[in-house]
Structure 1
């Protein structure tokens, strides 16, 4: 059984429904966006400014240099998050949905035959996200737990073990779903941001001259006067904007308006206040006397609860990226970029709340290994950045295509926008690449492996489809011949699943060959994935009759939907088909793949990767929610 051919990708809720929902629940959605969307970027103050100061001893030895670093952080947040993502990227929604794969689908829609480089960008963006996904929980939780060193210096040796236990707990509870836990995400994160802002204000009041950092010239001056370490500094500054991609990825969950309101109403002001507060503390106490300004600027009486709150905030940030990885994988499967995997729905009402045990296990192992290997957030910060900055470049590239071909913007405006942000995003990426051998190779290696697996899967599926098509009998030819010489028929309905709309299903041919009978009704079923996130029920099923024996049924799911064939076929009753699951048998082809003698090293490894992925793919019966008692599997052997 091959999964359905697809041309597009994800979106979340029907746009009309989403607008109505947003109007009536704007405060709730805004609070939810604070918890889920901004959990990652909200933990950046723990380590971003500290790393910017420590990129080289003496780099920020004077107040003017501290102001320069602060200016770079302020304007990185403003230009990258506020201008690029809030004002532009979040407008590029695919029927309400966001994310790299949604943007890829949106860009592909504008081409009759989409160029391969657009798909390649989608693959690269998705692969880089996986690289980011194993680092975010590691650096976030580790940086928060390190705060106990200030509370009790003797606890230093317990930082890594405590972090490992927390991370094990985070991944262990995933199977129970995030519905109940996420209820507290918004309020806890809102308290976190307010605490960040208050802590910042109390220090700004003592050293208000720190507000001079609003002048962008101070940031430029720092880079010019420290040209030798400019790349390293920019790489540290980039830590302040990691998590910006979440604004776009979670667009379908909350809608654009709540995300924008949360950013300007709470998140952005509190982040700025906290960074200024850290700068003010450093200026007031001297650069050489401050090791961790984020925690040190908090009064001693409030340090323990502050560390506890920071740990909660990092757990929420980790939860958000884990959930995002599940969603991304589900989208990639729907787009035939990855093999089928087991998907558990953890909510009866929210289709987007899913748990994927295979992904959960792989992520958990990766995060635990990173914490055990790097052992400090400072060391991990060198590994953090390549994947995120790479995703930003992919997003920019696809956004420019959408601006040009979807929005029909003036080419001069598009080119100008592209050049400005190529310089900014390119600078961030180049600075992070400079840390490749200091740990940056970790997310790069993860992304490379995932990209190669995705490309091998897509190439293997394409070759398998071509080979199968050559061996298949045209469906119309078979139907015409069976109409002339009708075989024995038996009661009931037979549904033959196939991805090839023109060829006769292999299961049908083998059924005729071995059983020499037909059912009273024979349905040739093709499952397709739409370029939209969800497909309305009245557009989900189409039926065409070849004759009284054969029907062609095409079921179309959105790339964010879980493909449930029995439920979809039940919709066909409105079209006049009396579908009864208890009198229906589903015939699936189970292909046994063998590797042929092909030359070329790339083809050699690609075929082996495809066969291994295919063998480990989850069962089609479970993936399509077909009752196991109604399935007949017919095996065939295919040599690639």
Structure 2
């Protein structure tokens, strides 16, 4: 008779399978400046220019406009970045990890997986992030290289091809990994922020009248007196805080405190001084609205500033590209995207990954944007809406976490969150006015990706339900095998399945066609938890079903690479003597066919089948050597 005896959980108690991070606080803070603040740190290249250009509508900005827009930018940095993200959102961490999908997983674990709102919000936020990921490299590099036009107009024809060349080179080197280059990111970006601060400080010292913009009344008066033009300008003001999501998304790499200290001690003062300096310049010389950032510096510094700005924008682009890789890996682990090839580019840094398919698609999309819009001003209209949409979703998910995870009452949680949600919604409305001018691009990208993610999630669920109806319960199967013994062969067979309570189809088909079983059989399931990483003490669980059958459960976090052969040796203490050379891994390869009575619409059915055919092999995804993998094919209608 089949028996289910839990032997134990293997691992080393208390040891975390986490990214190797530097231990010194200063090193962490320096690293965060290079990676976390690259995007928001390059916003002065275009944010004030675009906001005032929108307010002036082709004319010269008035002093009221300058005071109002600078005031709005300063208070956006204080309220959205400092108060919301640095002081509040970063406390809503998922075991030290941040980001939209990490927040989704945290809320889902508290509310349960049956609540559809949470995954829909998480999917929408993740989809919009990809829209941001294709615009950031394009607008950042273009805005820096455009400084060549100020050196001499003769260089203007070379701006577009040079920008394209820089972007192509950036994406081509991704496969080499960023570990070595990243060591330079921190010092370079510290230099960049120091230069930002000096440029603004020298100007403000000469004429401190712009300091009046610190008073928020100037911002309110500007919005009140400029109507729809003020609202459009407000959408451009939001360009100054793009990149704020990176503070939260990259928290797991550097920790909360180093990121917070870097913001308060260096990044915020440098940004504020630079915006004040640009505003002071435009008060005295409104005609310099064409490019107030580079014109803030003396003529002899133009070329060095263009070079330094280009380097800074490449670093900013690198951060968002790396973020797209991490987000994709999380989405795959959480069952929102089909399996893709994920390559490790460092033997020591767990966060260093490279996804060839995502890299190619990002490069293609970025180049299309650069060729179509040609200038950073043209791209500015497309930029803010993706980020504001993600911020609104983050705020809503944060409310759910504060209410259900932190244990606050709904009223107290609302009092804390609603003001931020209101501000985010106003910025979203302001950016929504630019949909026709280019804001539709991230929305279209986000809409397509959201459709893909929801289709994949629904298709996988329906496929699992279909397979469960057709498979035999494991206990019944073992009972039948014990009653009617079959011929055995040497070695161990491992059968992967998503539902260990039912007999894997690969096991049934192997027995049906080959008429044999191995001496030792393992029913293996890989579970992705709602936490970023799983402690090694909880990694492996072994249960004996009979003398010849074991059930093994491997648990991984959604930020971990699920390498099965590396995890199985930990089971030796629980009686499973794993030897990869004496083990065969059996996997089911399903050939999907559309069903006439599918629960999904015809188009969604076809999309799911198309995605499944392009998913990477399960053996590759789980790190199983190709020489030890046996795939058993079946046809299923869905």
Q: TM-score of the superposition, structure 1-length normalised?
A: 0.95
User: Match of 1:615?
Assistant: 613
Matched residues in 2 for 1:28 and 1:268: separation? 19
Cα offset, 1:112, TM superposition: 3.9
The alpha-carbon deviation at position 574 of structure 1 amounts to 2.3
**2:362: which partner in 1?**
363
1:288/1:266 Cα in 2 relative to 1: closer, same or farther (>3 Å)?
same
Q: Residue 111 of structure 2 aligns to a residue in which SS?
A: coil
Pick closer, same or farther for the CA change 1:284–1:346 going to 2, 3 Å: same
Distance 1:160 1:60 in 2: 27
Structure 2 residue 526 is matched with structure 1 residue 522: no
SS of equivalent to 1:191: helix
1:474 Cα shift?
1.3
Moved more, 357-366 or 577-586: 577-586
- Superposition map of 1:161-172 within 5 A: 161-172=161-172
- Rounded to whole Å, the distance in 2 between the matches of 1:388 and 1:15 is 38
1:33 corresponds in structure 2 to: 32
Instruction: Give, in angstroms, the shift of residue 577 of structure 1.
Output: 1.5
- How far apart are 1:530 and its partner, in Å? 1.1
Residue 371 of structure 1, CA deviation: 0.2
Distance 1:462 1:81 in 2: 38
Match of 1:637?
A: 635
Is 1:383 aligned to residue 378 of structure 2? no
Q: Is the 8 A contact 1:390 1:429 kept in 2?
A: yes
Q: CA deviation at 1:501?
A: 2.0
- The superposition leaves residues 222-261 of structure 1 with CA deviations (integer Å, 9 ceiling, x where unpaired) of 1001123122011010000000000000000000011001
Equivalent residues in 2 for 1:391-406, closer than 5 Å: 391-406=390-405
Distance apart, 1:528 and its partner CA: 0.5
CA drift of 1:414 comes to 1.3
Deviates more, 1:397-406 or 1:407-416: 407-416
Q: CA deviation at 1:21?
A: 8.1
Task: State how 1:368-447 maps to structure 2 within 5 Å.
Answer: 368-447=367-446
Deviation per CA, 1:469-494: give whole Å up to 9, x if none: 11111111101111122211111100
Q: 8 Å contact 2:19–2:351 — kept in the other structure?
A: no
Question: Is 1:144–2:144 an aligned residue pair?
Answer: yes
Counting only pairs closer than 5 Å after superposition, residues 89-488 of structure 1 correspond to structure 2 as: 89-285=89-285, 287-488=286-487
Contact 1:15-1:95 at 8 Å conserved across structures: no
Cα distance 1:450–1:62, how it changes in 2: closer, same or farther (>3 A)? same
Which digits, 9 at most, give the CA deviation of each residue in 1:332-376, with x for residues without a partner?
000010000001100000111000000000000000000000000
Question: Aligned partners of 2:148, 2:142: CA distance in 1, in Å?
Answer: 11
The residue that corresponds to 2:86 in the other structure is: 86
Separation (CA, whole Å) in 1 of partners of 2:311 and 2:469: 57
The DSSP-based 3-state class of the residue aligned with 2:491 is strand
After superposition, what is the alpha-carbon deviation per residue over 1:533-571, rounded to whole angstroms, capped at 9, x for unaligned? 111222111111111011111111111110100011111
- CA drift at 1:409: 2.1
Quick one: distance in 2 between partners of 1:87 and 1:608?
Answer: 45
60-69 or 153-162: bigger deviation:
60-69
TM superposition shift of 1:599: 7.2
Distance in 1, Cα, partners of 2:454 & 2:17 = 34
Tell me which residue corresponds to 1:583. 582
CA distance in 1, matches of 2:110, 2:17: 24
Partners of 2:146 and 2:282 in 1: CA distance: 19
CA separation in 2, counterparts of 1:155 and 1:15? 59
Please tell me whether the aligned partners of residues 178 and 352 of structure 2 are also in contact (alpha carbons under 8 angstroms).
yes
Please say if residues 537 and 571 of structure 1, whose CA atoms lie closer than 8 Å, have aligned partners that are also in contact: no
Q: Secondary structure at the match of 2:314?
A: helix
Moved more, 436-445 or 401-410: 401-410
Q: Distance in 1 between matches of 2:207 and 2:450?
A: 49
Find the residue that maps to 1:93 and give its secondary structure.
coil
**What SS does the corresponding residue of 1:54 show, helix, strand or coil?**
helix
Contact 1:60 1:66 in 2 (8 A): no
Q: Distance in 2 between matches of 1:229 and 1:293?
A: 21
Aligned-CA RMSD value = 1.7
Does structure 2 retain, via aligned residues, the 8 Å contact 1:206–1:280?
A: no
| Contact 1:498 1:525 (C-alpha < 8 Å) held by counterparts | yes
- Distance apart, 1:411 and its partner CA: 3.0
Could you tell me whether the CA contact under 8 Å between 1:598 and 1:604 is conserved in 2? no
**Residues 46, 143 of structure 1: 8 Å contact kept:** yes
Q: Render the CA deviation track for 1:292-326: whole Å, top value 9, x for unaligned.
A: 11011110011100110000000000000000000
> Does the CA contact (< 8 Å) of 2:17 and 2:533 recur in 1?
no
Deviates more, 1:466-475 or 1:135-144: 466-475
Residues 1:21 and 1:558: Cα distance change in structure 2 (over 3 Å): closer
CA–CA distance in structure 1, aligned partners of residues 95 and 291 of structure 2 = 44
Q: 3-state DSSP class of the match of 1:382?
A: helix
How far 1:622 moved relative to its partner? 1.0
**Does structure 1 conserve the Cα–Cα contact (< 8 Å) formed by 2:30 and 2:187?**
yes
Question: Any idea what the Cα deviations from partners look like across 1:79-114, whole Å, max 9, x if unmatched?
Answer: 000000000010010000000000001111112454
Q: Which residue of 2 aligns with 1:8?
A: none
Residue 552 of structure 1 corresponds to: 551
> How many aligned positions are there?
625
SS in 1 for 2:341: coil
The TM-score, its normalising length taken from structure 2, stands at 0.96
CA distance in 1, matches of 2:539, 2:21: 25
Q: CA deviation at 1:22?
A: 7.5
Aligned to 1:604: 602
Deviations 1:185-228 (A, max 9, x none): 00000000000000000111122010001101110011001123
Tell me the CA shift for residue 19 of structure 1.
11
How many Å apart are 1:619 and its aligned residue? 1.0
Post-superposition shift, 1:65?
2.3
Relative to structure 1, the CA distance from residue 338 to residue 20 in structure 2 (aligned partners, 3 Å threshold; closer, same or farther) is closer
Structure 1 pair 231/18, CA: closer, same or farther in 2 (3 Å)? farther
DSSP-derived class of the 1:589 partner: strand
Change in CA separation of 1:504 and 1:466 when aligned onto 2, cut-off 3 Å: same
8 Å CA contact 2:591, 2:635 repeated in 1:
yes
1:9-28 mapped onto 2 (5 Å cutoff): 24-28=23-27
**CA–CA separation in structure 1 for the residues paired with 2:559 and 2:17:** 15
Uncovered stretches (5+) of structure 1, i.e. residues with no partner: 1-13
Q: 1:157, CA displacement in angstroms? A: 1.3
Shift of 1:24: 3.5
